[in-house]
Amino acid sequence: METRLLTCLQALVSLSLSPLPGRPLTRLCCPAPTKCSFSSHRRRIHSSLSPLDPRCSAVCRSDVFAAASCSTAASKRTLWFGFLFATGWGGDLAHTACSSPPSRLRISLSHRRTLVGSATVIGEENGVIPQANGSARVRLGATDVIVSIKAELGKPHPLQPDKGKVAIFIDCSPTAAPMFEGRGGEELSTELSFALQRCLLGGRSGAGAGIDLSSLVIVEGKVCWDLYIDGLVVSSDGNLLDALAAAIKVALSNTGIPKVTVNLGASPNDQPDVDVSDEEFLQFDTSGVPVVVTLTKVGRHYIVDATSEEESQMSSAVSISVNQHGHICGLTKRGGAGLDPSVILDMISVAKHVGEQLMSILDSEIAAAEASAEDQ
Amino acid sequence: MATNPSTYALSQSSESKQRLQQRRRLFQETDWTRSDGRSFHQCRPAFLRTGATNAASGSAYAEFGVTKVIVSVFGPRESKKAMMYSGTGRLNCNVSYTTFSTPVRGQGSDHKEYSSMLHKALEGAIILETFPKTTVDVFALVLESGGGDLPVIITCASLALADAGIMMYDLVASVSVSCFGRNLVIDPTSEEEACQDGALMITCMPARNEVTQLTLTGEWTTAKINEAMELCLDACSKLAEVVRSCLKEAASG
Amino acid sequence: MEYVDSLTGFRLDGRRPTDMRQIRGEIGVVPKADGSALFEMGNTKVIAAIYGPREVQNKSQQVNNQALVRCEYSMANFSTGDRARRPKGDRRSTEISLVIRQTMEACILTHLMPRSQIDIFVQVLQADGGTRSACINAATLALADAGIPMCDIVTSCSAGYLSSTPLLDLNYIEDSAGGPDVTVGILAKMDKVTLLQMDAKLPLDIFENVMQLAIEGCKAIAQYIRGVLLENTKQLEYRKGV
């Protein structure tokens, strides 16, 4: 499989380098060195790709369709590929690519992927197992993650008495890959946990946090909700961080925090009595929870939603979390290879576009899941 | 045990809380002076020396304001027997805090992720192909934590690696920026870090103009990121000059 | 506590003493694995994934005349009611891993795959009693999905004895009541017992009844599993266009 991938990638790379022999894509897309942008219709562009040399048809065979918009007039040509989440996206993104500054040749490939965000409640049975407050399972292609959220009463941190606490723990199950056996998954688990904390919980003062920590306080300095977010990677085919972040967003939307009534003790030093209601639940506002978009750099291109095959060939990856205002809420870089600062800025602008789309898809998935839950 | 310590502890904590809130308000204003009298875009003076420890193949000491760090580099030495054969060298990084490094004793253990972040920041700069089958150990010890610890550790580690004669593409320099409302404050102290709205840390190889590590927390607009990155990259290249001159000094002296 | 209502004879969750919880099996839940399955017994939900037969990873463990079977059992943090960060490789999971490995080894034709390794990974998503049995059942389905030669299918079920009544397939409350809990694993067609565990004392004649009940449960599960496998094979056939 990996050799096949390599040939694919080599084919793609050779496409982007116009001095190489064979028919360069730039010439295929726009015969004259003038500005040109494709209408973002996937099928048409797919057919325009097919008459390429055999190396490229290997690319076409592997269910990858291309949409292109380009400008060869630019002196500096950057090329990027986007493997998108849903088939319906290819056109949309290419459209955004068209509307963005046409200073570079851009190709976006859409991979046949589906995004399924279903909200399932884990652990019920009449309070035998005190149930998780919310949970979700997200599948991205062959990647499958489950996130469960549990709220427990706790004490706020003495330095931040007006804030609740949120902890994110990720576990990689050995079912996902044999290398996660024993302690093998620990390194990746902690890396994912920290990356998610950085991307979702915002800065030290709480700015940009997806979860409003001050809403978790019950009595300032005394009682607050501790939110435990547990993620489990059941099946892994790359892009775990994006899938986990999406699952956390869906799970939070499905989370009900019990309503509490507080009886303050007589003296201010007493621990107040807290009465937890088991009927009334408060819902989270999840519109502010950011989504994470990971751009993986393979050769000279960067792709979104990389499969594990693609990740095996990556030089570095940048995970960017984007919220509903299009602001960046966190960023982490993986992989050793260095990146040019301008490339990072370009990645950020791409991640913003992709993030917006992902956000709207997730929101509609959440709404659909909620609607189906209500029907039952 | 007749005295009740809780009253004392409580009053102190509420006092510190008030102080913290005061600070936070202060930082939200557009114009305030930093506690050490620096301007917003001024880094702390960097003091760097090689050869802090004798047993190591290379070592360095860094002092940025109150932040004090020692990094020792061992190797390249034979990888552990249990490790699989590897055509490239391995890099093993560990960051530890002394128990007295933080105002509250033993708080330094909160920074478990620093070891892996140091590893990620350095691995892109080291030419691992030059020492196959062997391991280079980088041990960083934070003597005193005074804010911006990780950037100082990374910069100091690259100096120690150079001192040990490990082949690198370029020196690595790292600088962080804190964001307060509309202000960007470079090289924050720990009390500034405690109230920051967001932080951005860049690790780069200035001569190659490559970013090896970048982390960002808090909410940022693209324009702000642009500004912060420019500020950091400029500071990084200047810091790398300081590191380079330190190396030259060590070599000539 | 009354575990069986003295008037109606129903259990706490409304089952009769000889009723099993609803079972459900699904094949191919982990696309990257060589074989995988999900198995539910009531609220207990486990996933099993098989990797192999493949080259032995640790050469010192290689067996020259048969395959090496390994098993790892892990529980998700959220699988039980009290959220606990559980360390990997604690005593309980090591013991269950061993039990599952030995049970599955009994049915795998290991001599057909010398110098190779088969990994069985089971992950508990929800624990509500009988995880051991559910894991074995899931592993059987997953092994069959992986196409690993087996002499028969192993199924497992537990039974207990509470309120002077033998009860089939204990759930979490019944399990934690502290009464005897007999877990049986059988080779369904060959009618042989490969696993028998009990951690309490029980008079011999009652034990026989309880064990018989568990074996009945195993047979019912075997029937179901066979149905799932048959259905799966039919679908494969259909996809291949045979």
The full set of domains in chain A, from first to last, is 1-113 (no CATH), 115-290 (3.30.230.70)
Listed residue (A324, A327, A293, A296) closest to A312, CA to CA: A296
Q: Give the pLDDT of residue C78.
A: 85
Is the pLDDT at A34 greater than 80? The verdict is: no
Q: Which residue in A has a C-alpha nearest to residue B113's C-alpha?
A: A194
Domain with B85 in it: 45-252
Contact of A302 with A80, CB cutoff 8 Å: yes
Token digits for A375? 């029907």
CATH number at residue C201: 3.30.230.70
**Is B111 within the bounds of a domain?**
yes
Q: Give the pLDDT of residue B19.
A: 60
Q: How would residue A269 be classed by pLDDT, with cut points 50, 70 and 90? A: low
Q: Give the pLDDT of residue B86.
A: 83
Which of A122, A175, A193 to probe the C interface (max C CBs under 10 A)?
Answer: A175
Residues pairing with A227 in the sheet: A151, A166
**Is C104 within the bounds of a domain?**
yes
Residue numbers in C near A128 (CB within 8 A): 81, 128, 171-173
Q: Does A198 touch chain B (CB under 8 A)?
A: yes
Note if the bond before C53 is cis, omega within 30 degrees: yes
**Is B30 within the bounds of a domain?**
no
Domain with C156 in it: 23-240
Instruction: State whether B20 and A159 contact (CB < 8 Å).
Output: yes
Calculate the alpha carbon distances from B206 to A340, B211, B234, B238 in Å: 10, 8, 9, 9
Is the pLDDT at B11 greater than 80? The verdict is: no
Q: Give the pLDDT of residue A208.
A: 63
Nearest to C74 among A131, A174, A236 (CB): A174
**Is B1 within the bounds of a domain?**
no
**Is B12 within the bounds of a domain?**
no
**Is C10 within the bounds of a domain?**
no
Q: Give the pLDDT of residue A140.
A: 83
Is the pLDDT at B44 greater than 50? The verdict is: yes
CA–CA distance, A263 with A272 (Å, rounded to integer): 6
Q: Give the pLDDT of residue C26.
A: 94
Is the pLDDT at A106 greater than 80? The verdict is: no
Residue numbers in A near B150 (CB within 8 A): none
Least confident range from A188-202, B129-143, B158-172: namely: A188-202
Q: How would residue A135 be classed by pLDDT, with cut points 50, 70 and 90? A: confident
Report the number of distinct structural domains present in chain B.
1
Residue C34: how many other CB atoms lie within 10 Å? 19
**Is B171 within the bounds of a domain?**
yes
Is the pLDDT at B33 greater than 50? The verdict is: yes
Q: Give the pLDDT of residue C9.
A: 87
Q: Give the pLDDT of residue A169.
A: 92
Contact: chain B with chain A (3+ CB pairs below 8 Å)? yes
What's the average model confidence in pLDDT over A294-303? Answer: 86
Residue numbers in B near A314 (CB within 8 A): none
Q: Does A155 touch chain B (CB under 8 A)?
A: no
CATH number at residue B200: 3.30.230.70
**Is C226 within the bounds of a domain?**
yes
What b-and-e string marks burial along B239-251, b requiring 16 or more CB atoms within 10 Å of the CB?
bbebbbebbeebe
Which contiguous run of DSSP H or E holds residue C33? Answer: none
Residue numbers in A near B20 (CB within 8 A): 159
Is the pLDDT at A236 greater than 50? The verdict is: yes
- Which ipTM value was assigned to this complex? 0.89
Q: Give the pLDDT of residue A112.
A: 27
The alpha carbon of A269 is separated from its chain's Cα centroid by a whole number of angstroms, namely: 44
Report the number of distinct structural domains present in chain C.
1
Listed residue (A29, A6, A4, A5) closest to A16, CA to CA: A29
Contact: chain A with chain C (3+ CB pairs below 8 Å)? yes
Q: Give the pLDDT of residue A253.
A: 83
Is the pLDDT at A79 greater than 60? The verdict is: no
> What residues of B are in the A interface, CB distance below 8 Å?
6, 10, 13, 16-17, 20, 24, 112-113, 116, 120, 123-125, 179, 193-199, 204-205, 208-222, 225-226, 229, 233
Q: What is the pLDDT of residues C91-134, one digit of tens each?
A: 999 999 999 999 999 999 999 999 999 999 999 998 888 999 99
**Is C160 within the bounds of a domain?**
yes
Query: C-alpha dihedral over C135, C138, C144, C145, to 10 degrees?
Result: -130
**Is C2 within the bounds of a domain?**
no
Q: Give the pLDDT of residue C241.
A: 85
Q: How would residue A251 be classed by pLDDT, with cut points 50, 70 and 90? A: confident
Residue numbers in A near B17 (CB within 8 A): 159, 161
Cβ within 8 Å of A, C 140-169 = none
Q: Does A184 touch chain C (CB under 8 A)?
A: no
Greater model confidence, C111 or A134: C111
**Is C15 within the bounds of a domain?**
no
**Is C3 within the bounds of a domain?**
no
pTM listed for this prediction:
0.80
Walk along chain C (242 residues) and give the pLDDT tens digit of each residue. 788 888 888 998 889 999 999 999 999 999 999 999 999 999 899 999 999 899 998 889 999 999 999 999 999 888 887 777 777 778 999 999 999 999 999 999 999 999 999 999 999 998 888 999 999 999 999 999 999 999 999 999 999 999 899 999 999 889 888 889 999 999 999 999 999 999 888 999 999 999 999 999 999 999 999 999 999 999 999 998 87
Which contiguous run of DSSP H or E holds residue C43? Answer: none
How many cross-chain Cβ pairs, A to C, lie less than 8 Å apart?
A: 111
Residue numbers in B near A194 (CB within 8 A): 113, 116
Q: What is the pLDDT of residues A306-352, one digit of tens each?
A: 888 889 888 889 999 998 888 898 899 988 788 899 999 999 999 99
Q: Which residue in B has a C-alpha nearest to residue A315's C-alpha?
A: B124
Instruction: State whether C128 and A128 contact (CB < 8 Å).
Output: yes
**Is C163 within the bounds of a domain?**
yes
CA–CA distance, B156 with B140 (Å, rounded to integer): 9
Q: Give the pLDDT of residue B16.
A: 54
Instruction: State whether A345 and B220 contact (CB < 8 Å).
Output: no
Q: Which residue in A has a C-alpha nearest to residue B91's C-alpha?
A: A336
Instruction: State whether C83 and A228 contact (CB < 8 Å).
Output: yes
> How much of chain B exceeds pLDDT 70, in percent?
87
Calculate the alpha carbon distances from B151 to A22, A271, B140 in Å: 47, 42, 12
Is the pLDDT at A95 greater than 60? The verdict is: no
- Tell me how far apart the 2 most distant CA atoms of chain C are, in Å: 61
Listed residue (A312, A314, A322) closest to A339, CA to CA: A314
CA–CA distance, B90 with B232 (Å, rounded to integer): 29
**Is B216 within the bounds of a domain?**
yes
Q: What is the pLDDT of residues B192-235, one digit of tens each?
A: 888 888 899 999 999 999 999 999 988 889 999 999 999 999 99
Size (chain C), residues? 242
